[in-house]
Amino acid sequence: MVFLFWLSVALLVLSLFKWFHNYVLFLTMVYYIEKSGYTQPSKKETEECAHFVVKRLIKDLVQNEP
């Protein structure tokens, strides 16, 4: 039981670290885009990009199955 507790704690810490790392990378990209003078995308552009990314992720997941 103690092993499972510490394993859960370790996985939680690892997940939090990964989330924080991704969040910093996201904010870095946002800062770079704003600093470079790019305008923010419209709602339609954001939806199109999100749709493309989701389709691409699903395609990659399906193709990589053995």
pLDDT (tens digit, 9 = 90+) per residue, 30-41?
A: 899 999 998 888
Contact 49, 41 (CB under 8 A): yes
| Residue 41 in tokens | 């995308």
Measured between alpha carbons, how far is 10 from 26 in angstroms, rounded to an integer? 24
Cα–Cα distance measured from residue 18 to residue 26, given in angstroms and rounded to the nearest whole number: 12
pTM exceeds 0.85, yes or no: no
Per-residue pLDDT tens over the stretch 7-65? 999 999 999 999 999 999 999 998 999 999 988 889 999 999 999 999 999 999 898 76
The residue to which tokens 């552009």 are assigned: 45
